């Protein structure tokens, strides 16, 4: 998806035939990847925050109705995922704007952008641990654990389960985008070593 | 990707040649490289030891205690032996496997670093990519074990998952120790990636 998008945009680029076309190509890919990171973080946060589900349980012989609510803030792991995704999204906005500006006017923020790779690795760690945390809890919710006596709960909540799963999948995609960003930064740095 | 990379590789070798003809520049470059290599070895050894320790600490984790269970309220409670093992919870299995993979990779990368003294860029890029993968793998395993361990420690009243750490004290402490060791190992891999980036910056 990303590849086709970038190649579509880049296609008219070689006509200008500037000497630093390789670095410009890298810069464009970086902007697209950072925007993808922002979009995935935003979507994942929205999907997880809107996962609230209220279920009314009835037991036919009795006139008793129990309402049960599932919400993301009932588990610390999901709160952590929301916080990590928010931080990632906020960082992605800033870095997208900076890298876009330096794409339009080459030479600006180059020094600052080259230091972003450290923050990228740091955020990769945070986002990966948050995804792992949410995934670990969601797996117990999905399968249950008979040894410890934790029963599965996701068979009760359909919508909540789908939202949590989608959010974890999207944040996994965000982690992969972060890995690609770090690799791109390192690769373009090693390309720019003066000969 | 591969062919592009080859050209970059040649460029890197040329740079080295240029540096050696330059005189003063060569000393700086070699000094940087040497100090970097030393840290590289130390961090890889550290990561290997920490990952191995974390895997062993969690892998041998097994505790059997007796839990009083009152079957009939009028009778005194019966003591039932209960056992906790790490593979009862899939998150802990994931932590052990991730640590084993990281430890195995640390050994391989140490051998590669020993074989790659001349600084072949293809191998160093490959190790960098795999270092990054280890950062992601170890951090996700830490997150999973920490979240599941937190449920074990505090319980979750909303879905009626009872806490178990009041019964299995030693088991929980061992899990916490393993998570801490894994965090240190992940930090070592993190520093390895940062060191590669800084080294590139210096030569920039």
Q: Does A143 touch chain B (CB under 8 A)?
A: yes
* Range of A10-24, A128-142, B9-23, B30-44 with top mean pLDDT: A128-142
Count of structural domains, chain B: 1
Tell whether B14 is covered by a domain: no
Inter-residue contact A174 to A37 (CB < 8 Å): yes
pTM: 0.79
- Residue from A55, A113, A136 whose CB has the most chain B CBs within 10 Å, to mutate: A136
- Determine, yes or no, domain membership for B21: no
**Residue at A13 is within a domain:** no
Scan for tokens 């309220």, then name that residue.
B73
Task: For residue B71, give the DSSP letter.
Answer: S
The answer to whether residue A14 is domain-embedded is no
Among B residues 82-101, those touching chain A with beta carbons less than 8 Å apart: 84, 88-91, 94
Range of the domain at B142: 33-203
Report the gap between the CA of B148 and the closest CA in chain A (Å): 6
Residue A158 inside a domain? The answer is yes
Could you tell me if residue B19 is inside a domain? Answer: no
Q: Tokens 């590289």 sit at which residue?
A: B40
For residue A114, the enclosing domain spans 20-192
Which of B14, B162, B193 faces A121 most closely, judged by CB atoms? B193
Number of domains, chain A:
1
Report yes or no on B18 lying in a domain.
no
Determine whether the interchain pair A124/B133 forms a contact, defined as Cβ–Cβ distance below 8 Å: no
CB atoms A175 and B136 under 8 Å: yes
Cα B169–Cα B137–Cα B123 angle in degrees, nearest 5: 140
Is residue B64 in a domain?
yes
Helix (H) or strand (E) holding B202: helix B169-203
Chain B residue numbers with beta carbons less than 8 Å from the beta carbon of A183 are 129, 132
Q: Is residue B192 part of a domain?
A: yes
Q: Does A84 touch chain B (CB under 8 A)?
A: no
Asked if the structure places residue B17 within a domain, the reply is no
Task: Note the pLDDT tens digit of each residue in B33-55.
Answer: 554 567 888 899 999 999 999 99
**B158/A132 CB distance under 8 A:** no
In this predicted model, what pLDDT tens digit does every residue of A13-44 receive, in sequence order? 444 444 556 777 888 888 999 999 999 999 99
Q: What's the CA dihedral at A116, A120, A123, A128 to 10 degrees?
A: 180
Percent of chain B predicted with pLDDT > 70? 80
Element (H, E) at B186: helix B169-203
Rounded CA-CA distance B53/B47 in Å is: 10
């Amino acid at each position: 998806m990303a590849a086709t998008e970038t190649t579509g945009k880049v296609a008219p680029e070689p006509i200008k035939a500037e000497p630093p076309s390789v670095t410009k190509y890298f810069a464009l890919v970086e902007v697209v990847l950072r925007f993808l990171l922002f979009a995935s973080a935003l979507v994942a946060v929205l999907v997880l925050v809107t996962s609230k589900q209220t279920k009314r349980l009835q037991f036919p012989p009795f006139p008793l109705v129990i309402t049960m609510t599932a919400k993301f803030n009932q588990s610390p792991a999901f709160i952590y995922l929301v916080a990590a995704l928010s931080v990632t999204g906020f960082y992605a906005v800033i870095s997208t704007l900076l890298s876009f500006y330096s794409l339009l006017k080459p030479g600006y923020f180059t020094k600052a952008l080259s230091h972003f790779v450290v923050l990228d690795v740091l955020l990769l760690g945070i986002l990966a641990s948050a995804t792992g945390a949410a995934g670990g809890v969601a797996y117990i919710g999905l399968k249950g654990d008979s040894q410890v006596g934790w029963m599965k709960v996701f068979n009760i909540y359909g919508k909540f389960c789908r939202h949590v799963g989608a959010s974890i999948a999207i944040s996994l995609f965000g982690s992969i985008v972060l890995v690609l960003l770090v690799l791109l930064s390192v690769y373009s740095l090693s390309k720019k070593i003066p000969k | 990707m591969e062919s592009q990379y080859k050209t970059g590789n040649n460029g890197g070798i040329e740079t080295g040649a240029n540096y050696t003809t330059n005189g003063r520049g060569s000393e700086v470059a070699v000094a940087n490289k040497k100090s970097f290599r030393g840290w590289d070895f130390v961090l890889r050894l550290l990561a290997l030891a920490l990952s191995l320790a974390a895997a062993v600490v969690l892998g041998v984790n097994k505790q059997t205690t007796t839990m009083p269970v009152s079957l009939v309220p009028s009778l005194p409670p019966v003591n039932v032996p209960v056992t906790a093992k790490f593979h009862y919870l899939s998150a802990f299995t994931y932590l052990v496997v991730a640590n084993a993979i990281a430890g195995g990779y640390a050994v391989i990368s140490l051998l590669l670093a020993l074989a790659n003294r001349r600084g072949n860029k293809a191998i160093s890029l490959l190790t960098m990519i795999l270092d990054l993968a280890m950062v992601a793998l170890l951090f996700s395993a830490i997150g999973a074990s920490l979240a599941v361990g937190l449920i074990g420690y505090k319980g979750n009243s909303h879905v009626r998952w009872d806490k178990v750490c009041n019964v299995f004290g030693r088991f929980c402490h061992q899990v916490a120790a393993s998570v801490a060791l894994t965090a240190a190992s992940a930090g070592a891999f993190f520093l390895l990636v940062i060191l590669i980036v800084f080294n590139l910056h210096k030569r920039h």
